[in-house]
Amino acid sequence: MDATSLGHVLVVLVISVVYRGCAIPIAWHVLPAIEKGSWKKPWLELFSHFQDVIPRDWVVIVMADRGLYARWLFESIEKCNWHPFLRINHGIFFRPKDEKEFKALYVSFQQPGFAWSGTGTCFKTNSLEATLLVRWEEGFEEPWLILINLHPTQALPCWYGLRSWIECGFKHIKSAGWHWQYTRMVDPERATRFWLAIAVATLWVLSVGGEADANIYASSFEALPENHIARRRSPKTSYVRFLSCFHRGLMIIITSLIAQRQLPLGRFVPEPWPT
């Protein structure tokens, strides 16, 4: 979940499904950018649409940037039988289970290369019983501190890296895809209907591009000699996506139109959870 703006005209609160480096909008609420007030009510309305809709045996995590964290948000996600995966600021206090004193997290975690997870009580006021995941990778200015309602052994902090895919989704909606930034719409209701067209088009493009992406063979150096130049220049053996699924799907659809072939529909192929 995240928000995106159209200059000083409109703000869109969006819940998306992230998929292969991209994102598909599935619920949104458009507001005037200059409108004052809390976003609590529109967010709650969006989440209310999903109660008893997703199968209960699905494991769904909901990621949000730290600027969106709130106690009511944590609880509303749980009401959908989903799992909050919310980043918080490092200036808060946390009391691990079976300990008496709260600890300031900015004091406890002061250097990169640190990882910790455990259950306990977060915040001295308006406390919340939850699991805290901490990860501070080398090269980053500060750690990830993530609150979840899963047991520490059931989740990894690296999952939070999937959150950035919604930013890629916003980019595809704007400058790198549908070019929504050129619209002259100022009416939130009209923009809401237009976003339906954007969402359906994105769904189609990613189903086609994702299927093609899933059938690309990952690069492998196993068949090359140890001193081969490819090994020296590219030590990583993991698959690197040089073309987004969005643009791959768009190219396949446009090519089919030009060649007057039957339009592809595609399908969604899941990826393993990051480790």
Range of the domain at 195: 186-258
* pLDDT surpasses 70 at 221: no
Q: Has residue 168 been placed in a domain?
A: no
Residue 229 is predicted with a pLDDT of 75
Cα separation, 3 vs 274, in Å, equals 24
pLDDT at residue number 251: 98
Segment 49-74 mean pLDDT: 92
Q: Is 38 exposed, middle or buried (0-12, 13-18, 19+ CB in 10 A)?
A: exposed
Residue 221 lies in a domain: yes
Instruction: Select from 12, 10, 15 the least CA-distant residue to 163.
Output: 15
244 within a domain of the structure (yes/no): yes
Q: What percent of the chain has pLDDT over 90?
A: 74
**What pLDDT does residue 228 have?**
76
Q: What is the DSSP letter of 12?
A: E
> In a 3-state reduction of DSSP, which class is residue 69?
coil
* Sheet containing 83-87: order of strands: 61-64, 83-87, 144-148, 128-136, 114-122, 93-96, 103-104
Structural domain contains residue 218? yes
Q: What is the pTM of this model?
A: 0.89
Confidence of residue 233 (pLDDT cuts 50, 70, 90): low
- Residue 245 maps to a domain: yes
Q: What is the pLDDT of residues 13-34, one digit of tens each?
A: 999 999 999 999 999 999 999 8
* CA distances to 78, 116, 146, 201, 211 from 85, in Å: 11, 16, 6, 28, 28
Spatial separation of the C-alpha atoms in residues 22 and 170, rounded to whole Å: 9
Structure confidence by residue, pLDDT tens digits, 117-136 = 999 999 998 899 999 999 99
What residues does 29 pair with on adjacent strands?
A: 13
Q: Where are the beta strands (DSSP E) in 123-176?
A: 128-136, 144-148
Domain count, the chain: 1
Q: Is residue 217 in a domain? A: yes
Residue 243 lies inside a defined structural domain of this protein: yes
Q: How confident is the model at residue 141 (pLDDT cuts 50, 70, 90)?
A: confident
